[in-house]
Amino acid sequence: MSSFAASLDLPPVPHSAPLARHVTVDLLRVWRAPHDRDDAALLVTELVTNVVDHVGGEASFTLELELADGWLRVAVVDGSSVLPVVRELNAERPRGRGLRLVQAIAERWGCDEHDGGKRVWFELAPPV
């Protein structure tokens, strides 16, 4: 299988979430990635929405996608050093479930320090 990589700088505004989702789906189609595009799009939306909701500001963030050896790795890199937190479910708070979705769907996920900010990533395994 071929290896592919792409990155895209986006502003931390609400419209960046659907744009990132569409770019992800289009790239997976062009790359002929065997992964579930809806799962990838959902998780990208969650990571980008976290940046928009919690980082904001003037600086851009970067969406990174890589397909190698059948694995799909997607990351969002921003300039905030505040690490993401998986929140407890709360019926009174309709938001805040994004990282729970990432945990449930992705094979692996995590957060690494990156140039004074962070890179939040997830990986989807090759379908069996």
CATH number for 95 = 3.30.565.10
Residue 83 has a pLDDT of 85
Q: What's the start-to-end Cα distance of the chain, in Å?
A: 15
The contacts of residue 94 (CB under 8 Å, 6+ apart) are: none
- Which residues constitute the domain of residue 17? 4-124
Q: How many domains in the chain?
A: 1
pLDDT in tens, 41-92: 999 999 999 999 888 676 899 999 999 999 999 999 999 988 887 766 666 6
Q: 0.85 cut: is pTM over it?
A: yes
CB atoms within 10 A of CB 6: 14
Rounded CA separation 102/50 (Å): 12
Rounded CA separation 55/92 (Å): 23
Rounded CA separation 17/33 (Å): 21
